[in-house]
Amino acid sequence: MSQLVWLRNDLRVNDNPALNAACLRGPTTCIFLVDASQWQHHDMSPWRVALTLRTVDCLSQQLAQLGIKLIIRGCNSFAEAPKVIVQCAQELAANCVFFNAEIALNEQRRDDKVEAALEQSGIQCERHHSFTHLPPGAVTKPDGSGYTVFTPFKKRWLAHPLALPSTPLPPPESQGPTVEPEQTPNNVGGIEKTFGADLWEAGEAAAQNCLSNFLQSRAKLYSTQRDLPDQPGTSQLSPHLACGSISTGQCLYAAYRANDNRLHGGNAGIDTWISELIWREFYNHILAANPRLSRGEAFRRETENLEWNHNQEWLERWQAGQTGFPLVDAGMRQLNTSGWMHNRLRMVTSQFLVKHLFINWREGERYFMQNLVDGDLAANNGGWQWSASTGTDAVPYFRMFNPIRQAERFDPSGAFVRAQIPELARAQGKSIFTPWQYTDTSHYVKPIVDLSAARDATLAAWKRMRATLT
């Protein structure tokens, strides 16, 4: 009897539990569902759609070399998935379907329906875990409840017996002669598969090269350079983690080995990067424990009473990078032209929207998802609710990043701003920080708000909301 592996955000042959288990059981075929309508419904960006399609093509070729066929099928919605998966399993006479579980609510409901349909058809189903290193629910307080603050979560995560990364699972052994690889469509939902290919290399080999280059050349400086947007201080692995061309376990294992076999207490830069991977774990564990977050609800329920501004002009100027505050605008333009934004700037731009413009964090969360090549529901939602002070372990409501001070601190030469904003390419000295105050840069768009007045208005709105709680 044959086995069927349903691939989703685990597009790799190495360290893939579902694929590994299936191939150990017997002859295996894989399937990937191209679900343009559902991707659009979930605000999957054109950058990520195109990268996913190219990654599937790379994986198809890898599997073909192992004699494993990857079937690519169209699927109009999650509701169609049970029918498509069951039909494919029946065509192959597969006795079991394997897949790695996903964490978001809609995906869990889809998987439950697929499993029920398979069982009704007399086909076994086997779920595995791969999206986070430690599965949701594995890190709990002594009383069994989940953590909602990162620092104690990290401490308990590091102490978990399975936190120490083991050697990643190898690729499956060849199961026969090379087969002809299938390829994804060149255009899906109006998005060309080649979109962004010059910026984002797809596939498992690219992910492994990215990880290796980072650990060899930049990781030890990560703690000091990760906040400087004009420096290549970050790993650039987030798009690969999002589509699963590399696993968190592979990243942790490589970092552990590069850090003298330590997850903490080694090099400051590598320690900091490992901590960022644990932040990713934290937000996914929070999402799993609180399914309502997948429905757009605030983690802190009382903040649903905040009276957000509804100003379409402000929102559109923020989206376009036309707020008049150079570092905010530079970050938004980087997002709009590359599908990616430096992590420090994600905090700066989101804080500006939710604190100074006091626009609902959901507007920013959605815009990021619609434009990020590395869009991940848990991390994006966690980050936005952190900035908005509505989430778990969030920044205090009265803390607001001043975009001018942030620019002076993290882009002191103005190199990043000049590279992203042609209008300020010739700005000299301090005019790069406050262009409206200088004649040589007065042509640049004027500030959308007065920072001091905006801060006072936001604090007043929070005060009104907090007064309703007493």
Tell whether 180 is covered by a domain.
no
User: pLDDT tens digit string along 164-177?
Assistant: 999 999 999 999 99
User: pLDDT tens digit string along 106-161?
Assistant: 999 999 999 999 999 999 999 999 999 999 999 999 999 999 999 999 999 999 99
User: pLDDT tens digit string along 280-313?
Assistant: 999 999 999 999 999 999 999 999 999 999 999 9
Tell whether 397 is covered by a domain.
yes
Q: Which two tokens stand for residue 198?
A: 């010059």
Do strands 124-128 and 187-188 pair parallel, antiparallel, or not at all (unpaired)? Answer: unpaired
Which pLDDT score, from 0 to 100, does residue 1 have? 74
Which of the residues are catalytic?
276, 279, 308, 343, 361, 384
Per the structure, the count of domains in the chain is 3
Model pTM?
Answer: 0.97
Query: What domain range is 138 assigned to?
Result: 132-167+206-289
d(CA 97, CA 33): 14
In a shared domain, residues 94 and 230: no
Tokens 């989101």 correspond to: 350
User: pLDDT tens digit string along 364-419?
Assistant: 999 999 999 999 999 999 999 999 999 999 889 999 999 999 999 999 999 999 99
Which pLDDT score, from 0 to 100, does residue 273 have? 98
In a shared domain, residues 387 and 450: yes
In a shared domain, residues 161 and 250: yes
In a shared domain, residues 316 and 369: yes
User: pLDDT tens digit string along 76-105?
Assistant: 899 999 999 999 999 999 999 999 999 999
Give 251's pLDDT tier (boundaries 50, 70, 90).
very high
Task: Say which DSSP state 104 is in.
Answer: S
Tell whether 188 is covered by a domain.
no
In a shared domain, residues 160 and 59: no
In a shared domain, residues 278 and 343: no
d(CA 299, CA 292): 8
In a shared domain, residues 123 and 137: no
Which pLDDT score, from 0 to 100, does residue 470 have? 72
In a shared domain, residues 144 and 281: yes
d(CA 399, CA 205): 42
How long, in residues, is the chain? 470
Q: Which two tokens stand for residue 17?
A: 């539990």
